[in-house]
Amino acid sequence: MLKERDMRILEFEGSWWLYPGPKDQAIQEYLRLSASRYYQALRRLMDDPAALEHAPLTVRRLRRQRSQRLEQIAARIRDGDSAG
């Protein structure tokens, strides 16, 4: 079961672009969290089955973005090794 704070984080992440101003500022105003605490919580929630059940579209999008970033890093490492 998710905590209220975790549900609010997932709901915010699913619609943060609707808030005026920069995302970091909206995180502080809406959730009363620092950006670093917010992103730490998001990373934890990405692998939480309860989070996936609560906000499937948001969690799947976050997982997909994480996979893409890891693939890009792996490709840069491979390209760097083959260039040498």
* Tokens describing residue 7: 């549900």
Residue carrying structure tokens 């999008």? 61
Task: Report pLDDT digits (tens) over 55-65.
Answer: 999 999 999 99
- Model pLDDT, residue 57: 97
The 10 Å Cβ neighbour count of residue 13 is 20
pTM of the model: 0.84
* Tokens describing residue 18: 């609707």
| Cβ within 8 Å of residue 54, ≥6 positions away | 2, 6, 7, 10
* Tokens describing residue 74: 């792996």
Task: Report pLDDT digits (tens) over 1-41.
Answer: 899 999 999 999 999 989 889 999 999 999 999 999 999 99
| Of 44, 43, 12, the residue nearest 28 (C-alpha) | 12
